[in-house]
Structure 1
Amino acid sequence: MAEPDWKTVGEGRGFIAEAFAGAFGQSIEAMTSERPEIEWSVLSAGPGSLAAETDGWLWWEQPLTAAPGSKCWLGAAESTWSEAGRLALVAAGLDDITAEDCRGTWMEIQGQTLSSMSQSLTRRIRKEVNCEKGCEIDPPPNPDWSIEVRVKLGDAPQRLVFGWNEELRLAAEPASEPAKQTSAVETKAGTAAPGRALSPAVENSRTLELLLEVELPVSISFGRTQLPLRDVLKLNSGSIVELNRAISEPVDLIVNNCVIARGEVVVVEGNYGVRIKQIISKEERLRTLY
């Protein structure tokens, strides 16, 4: 990847650009089994410039929970999303591929990319960042900041544009040192860290502070089944065991032998992950002990 001009880009903007480019490369690699060559450069932020340059592109608007009003946009020419989708489907062993198939596969690549980028933002700002409900948009947006991403897919170079607004940039900017020190002192004194909503009585509990550091085993269940002993003894390499869960159904997130949430399987930086879709109620947790 080309070395960016950090003086021009700025630290927060540079982080967002690198996070997106890295997430996109990992998503393409996960879908095609090949790591693409990616470079990005800063685009001028002239009013209406994207509308003129990207007319007819497929544009997606993605709200994020990094800060109120924070959004990003991803645009791709038909040649880009079509080739990316085709390569992913070919890697999956499909031959009869339509334009609609390529478009749907691109949407999956796009979703994995933005989800992975959100996880990078989570680690940076130490606050859970999730993708909210996004949508296709037309005409193209007018983001405060944008980059052009050049990627080689197959034998041809392709181009896409990623942009974001000022709210997201501010959320990604590093905190000043005094603010960091103050935050650390307040946390030690019992103030909840970002994302932890604790009552005043609980905040002052040193016992709870110790318990918050306890590590719990977390596992994911794709389904269960019961087999007679005779069938278990017949299992060998290549055997298929049918589970009690359809492909479209969410998987279970289990902590301490108890289902606490359900979600969908995603790819995060080349690894499997789970996007939480539902938090289980206390009554249902008691009925789903493993």
Structure 2
Amino acid sequence: MSKANPVRDADEMFRESTDELGMAALREESVREGDHHDLVMSIPVEVQIVLGSAEMPVSELMALKRGSTVSLDRRIGEPVDIVVNGRRIATGEIIILEHDPSRFGVRLTGIGDAAK
């Protein structure tokens, strides 16, 4: 049984690693500027519509059952927050969709700084 040569093995591993890095750099260079835009635009984001919130002690939370009512901190007709990946980006108003009256939608009323 022959012993492995640690110096040769390390040199070989280094050569393989640098070859892989070189190939990765070539692949990176081959991506055109427009491709970056497409990549970014295809990233999924989570969009939430926040009607309001409520704060209560755990004891009240644990006492909730079917039919219980939770009062929110907003009134009917007040704007709702549109939150993307945890950040508020806009405000809007709840609407009923014309093409499907069984569904809600949100009409944007403020975007960016106008949403504050």
Which interval holds the TM-score relative to the shorter structure?
Answer: 0.5 to 0.7
In structure 1, the residue corresponding to 2:38 is in which secondary structure?
helix
Residue 248 in 1 paired to residue 73 in 2? no
Partner of 1:236: 65
Q: Write the mapping of 1:28-177 to structure 2, written as runs, cut at 5 A.
A: none
Partner of 1:281: 113
5+ long unaligned stretches in structure 2: 1-32
* Structure (1 or 2) with the larger CA radius of gyration: 2
* Superposition CA RMSD, Å: 1.7
Deviations 1:50-86 (CA, angstroms, capped at 9, x unpaired): xxxxxxxxxxxxxxxxxxxxxxxxxxxxxxxxxxxxx
Separation (CA, whole Å) in 2 of partners of 1:213 and 1:251: 26
TM superposition shift of 1:267: 1.8
TM superposition shift of 1:205: 4.3
Tell me the percent identity: 32
5+ long unaligned stretches in structure 1: 1-203, 285-290
Residue 215 in 1 paired to residue 47 in 2? no
Deviations 1:221-269 (CA, angstroms, capped at 9, x unpaired): 1001111011111100111100111112111111101111111111223
Match of 2:91 among 262, 266, 272: 262
Residue 224 in 1 paired to residue 67 in 2? no
Which structure has more RCO (C-alpha within 8 Å, separation ≥ 6)?
1
For 2:107, the aligned partner's letter is R
In structure 1, the residue corresponding to 2:89 is in which secondary structure?
strand
For 2:37, the aligned partner's letter is L
TM superposition shift of 1:208: 2.1
Separation (CA, whole Å) in 1 of partners of 2:44 and 2:96: 23
Q: TM-score, normalised by structure 2?
A: 0.63
TM superposition shift of 1:214: 1.3
